[in-house]
Amino acid sequence: MENPIIVALDLPSPQKALKIAEELAPVVGAFKVGKQLFISGGSDVLRKLRATGAKVFLDLKLHDIPNTVAKAVMAATDLGVQMTTVHASGGSAMLAAAGNAAHEQAAMLRSEEPLVLAVTVLTSMDDGDLAELGIEGGTQEQVLRLAKLATGAGLKGLVCSPQEIEMLRAELGDNVQLVTPGIRPASSRPDDQKRTLTPAEAIAAGANWLVIGRPITGAADPKAAAIGILHSIDPELVPESERPEPIPEVVDCAECGKSLKLDATEQATGRYHCPYCDKDVVH
């Protein structure tokens, strides 16, 4: 399995984003650059992220007339990104134009063709939010409708909530890549995501890529957090050079001294949450 972690670099400055990226590059699969970071850092951020050796995901969620979106996708292809996003609600003509633009521009440049991902329903939205917009039938029905529209237009990747992974796999098969935000380790707060799963649950359901932001970038030790998530998915995904010596099953908390029993992931990563002092601890 390829390293499935995409780190969302939703950070206030390019300098901070690049510093974290350099630290995380050996243990993650890709970095996601959204509107905030792209506007503040421009194409230079993409170039420096590519230099880390990780894939780059330019997440601008394009939604415009077909010709405008096609030109934007061509520009993204010129920048050497591996993934980019468009809104499925832009319609079949726009979706087809985006996919064709990526293919034709990559062929002309003799470069890697970026995966154009159609965004179905944002993970911050639920049935009530859709009802406010006049969309009937609920989240899953709308996700499936938009997913079929996108794949029918020739796109080979979708962005969807973890809760829709199994449904989309059953309906669309294995020929579409599923990129999944709304991923939260069991110990994390849900933040503004409403439809979430843990990393291991999302991979088991059929996701190809997991978009994870604050649980990694906001951690006291981002690299240790990423390694812990990788280990929870499959211990073999953790690079050998990054595998710490396992610690005992029972330890005394390094913060408060109380005795704790650790699970297998906590033992392997040396990272745990103490229920007594309510702190995240690196052993």
pLDDT in 10s for each residue of the chain, 283 residues: 899 999 999 998 999 999 999 999 999 999 999 999 999 999 999 999 999 999 999 999 999 999 999 999 999 999 999 999 999 999 999 999 999 999 999 999 999 999 999 999 988 888 999 999 999 889 999 999 999 999 999 999 999 988 899 999 999 999 999 999 988 776 655 554 455 688 999 999 999 999 999 999 999 999 999 998 998 899 889 888 777 677 788 989 888 999 988 887 788 777 788 899 988 887 7
The pLDDT value recorded for residue 244 is 65
> Which residues lie across from 62 on neighbouring strands?
86
183: nearest Cα among 141, 139, 222, 213: 213
d(CA 145, CA 178): 15
98: nearest Cα among 84, 82, 79: 84
- For every residue of 10-66, DSSP letters joined together read --S-HHHHHHHHHHHGGG-SEEEE-HHHHHHHHHHHHHHHHTTTSEEEEEEEE-S-H
Is 61 considered catalytic here?
Answer: yes
Structure tokens at 259: 């005795």
Give kind and range of the element (H or E) at residue 78.
Answer: helix 66-78
d(CA 276, CA 39): 43
Report the residue count for the chain.
283
- Token pair 């939604």 is found at 63
Q: Which CATH superfamily is domain 5-243 in?
A: Aldolase class I (3.20.20.70)
Asked if 117 and 94 count as a contact pair (C-beta separation under 8 A), the reply is no
Q: Residues 222-258, buried b or exposed e (16+ Cβ, 10 A)?
A: bbbbbbbbbbbbeeebbeeeeeeeebeeebebeeeee
Q: Active-site residue among 61, 148, 223, 279?
A: 61
Backbone angles phi, psi at 233, to 5 degrees: -80, -50
The pLDDT value recorded for residue 186 is 67
Burial classification of residue 56, based on how many CB atoms lie within 10 Å of its CB (0-12 exposed, 13-18 middle, 19 or more buried): buried
Residue 147 identity (one-letter amino acid): A
Give the start-to-end residue ranges of the domains of the chain: 5-243, 244-283
The pLDDT value recorded for residue 154 is 98
The pLDDT value recorded for residue 132 is 94
